[in-house]
Chains A and B, each alone.
Chain A
Amino acid sequence: MLMRKVFSRPDKMRMSLKRYVNEIAKLGVNSIGIVMLISLFIGAVITVQLQLNISNPLMPRWTVGYVTREIMLLEFSSAIMSLILAGKVGSNIASELGTMRVTQQIDALDIMGVNSANYLILPKIAAMMTIIPILVTFSIFAGIIGAYCTCWFLGIMTAVDLEYGLQYEFVEWNVWSGFIKSLFFAFIIASVSAYYGYTVKGGSIEVGKASTDSVVSSSVLILFSDLVLTKLLFG
């Protein structure tokens, strides 16, 4: 029912586009910092852990770079990053809409004759689906930079070995599959959180609960869909 209202024709396209641009800035651009920071450190930690755990004379040194790349491309930058965004962006969406509901701002929109679900939720879903491939790209690059940092600053291996591994048997589809998965995850994060926020009844306690529930439900759905999508894309 809610999604039918969300995906109807906007009352005023100009106003929805304005909100869409604002949401890209609020949900996406404001998340670039945290995405890059986490990816940088995870990329570095993965490299250090791999180097420590697979140091074997029979194993080529570039394996560390190869495995780091595969982890970043296949899972971390799409699925794990989406789990992190479910916490940051999902709780933001649920609490914003929940507060609007309990302070009657959504009722005010409805009484004016505005399709509140469409006006408030559609720009969030569209913005998340637009910005997430960019966040995934930033995450991949930040992870690789993190891996390089371990070579430059910790000296755990040579950058040449790492670079060889990073380029070894590169499959372009792995990048595209990450983007495809992230689009699904972006839809899940925005729509599930919006549902919990939009349908809040009560006061501040219920808004807090909706925010928590939205993160939990989004996370579970992301994990489940990750499994299904991985099977579909690579199976």
Chain B
Amino acid sequence: MIEVKHLYKAFDGIDVLKDISAVFENGKTNLIIGQSGSGKTVLMKCIVGLLQPESGDLLYDGRNFLKMNKREKKSLRREIGMLFQGSALFDSMSVLQNVMFPLDMFSNDTYIEREKRALFCLERVNLSEAKDKYPGEISGGMQKRAAIARAIALNPQYLFCDEPNSGLDPKTSLVIDELIHGITEEYNMTTIINTHDMNSVIGIGDNVIFICNEHLEWTGTKDEVLTSHNDELNNFIFASDLLKKVKEMEVDHNEG
């Protein structure tokens, strides 16, 4: 479980996050949603330690990340897997080498054991056939799956996904969502997904937090998203005509 308590972050004196407090439970896919520029990526970067917040606390199963020394932070990082928006696979390595990389760096297993684990992770994301290809030779969806395999190679307790569906078609997005959701439940991980894809929210949003105007506007589940009376949330969620119609049908259905 990850707890964020009264987190503040500013750039050049301008507040980007104000008094954010949230709980991200393990075994659940926790979604951070919000408009572009609302600060959700900054929040995720603060949680994983790529940015230093001005104040607040970040508790990883009770361990305060912001009060850890360098060695403790380094040790905690081995419990973290991250899927970046652009996959961030290493161009000079094959898919298998990418997945083996964290094992090569931090595992004391033999080469055969490391390779076996990497192949298992690739099998888990249905990417065994592309193991010898380079990131530039595979599609965006396959790159995302390879990045997921790399992220879970060390069996992390915490998985962070920054806009995992960006640049993917709806069908592939669904595959990625289901994969992340499945892995989260299977390994009982604390998964935090940063997204503005409404299909993801409705599909896998076990716990949803909505960031608006630098602060935490709303929290709830995927079911509560559709029935919420929060104006800011409704303006964001039902911005598209398709979802407006879904909302109208939901209201008609309830009244009928």
Contacts and interface: CB of A to CB of B under 8 A. Distances in A.
Q: How large is the interface on A (under 10, 10 to 19, 20 to 34, 35 or more residues)?
A: 10 to 19
Interface stretch (B78-86, B164-172, B205-213, B222-230): B78-86
B104 A113 contact: no
Contacts, number: 51
B109 interface: no
A108 B84 contact: yes
B203 to A, nearest CB: 25
Nearest to A119: B105
A104 B88 contact: yes
Interface string B99-117: 0011011100000000000
A124 to B, nearest CB: 13
A112 B107 CA distance: 12
B74 A12 contact: no
Contacts of A104: 84-86, 88
A12 B108 CA distance: 10
A140 B73 CA distance: 50
Nearest to B78: A113
B105 A111 contact: no
A113 B73 CA distance: 8
A107 B151 CA distance: 13
A117 to B, nearest CB: 14
Contacts of B63: none
B176 interface: no
A167 interface: no
A103 B101 CA distance: 17
Contact of A103 (B49, B86, B105, B160): B86
A113 B91 contact: no
Interface residues of B, number: 24
Contact of A105 (B50, B91, B106): B91
7 contacts: A11-B105, A12-B106, A108-B82, A112-B80, A112-B102, A112-B105, A113-B80
Ranked nearest first, the 7 interchain pairs of A and B with the lowest CB-CB distance are A113-B77, A104-B88, A108-B88, A104-B84, A113-B74, A111-B82, A105-B88
A114 interface: yes
B142 interface: no
A104 B86 CA distance: 8
B90 interface: yes
A36 to B, nearest CB: 26
Nearest to A112: B102
Interface string A108-124: 10111110000000000
B46 interface: no
A226 B243 CA distance: 68
B48 interface: yes
Nearest to B84: A104
A107 B82 CA distance: 10
A111 B104 contact: no
Contact of B106 (A14, A107, A111, A113): A113
B105 A105 contact: no
Contacts of B90: 105, 108
A114 B88 contact: no
Contacts of A111: 48-50, 77, 80, 82, 160
Given A112-B77, A112-B78, A113-B74, A107 B84 contact: yes
A14 B84 CA distance: 27
B50 A12 contact: no
A99 B48 CA distance: 22
Contacts of A110: 50
Nearest to B80: A111
Interface in B39-61: 48-50
Nearest to A11: B105
A99 B88 CA distance: 11
Interface in A8-53: 11-12, 14-15
A112 B159 CA distance: 12
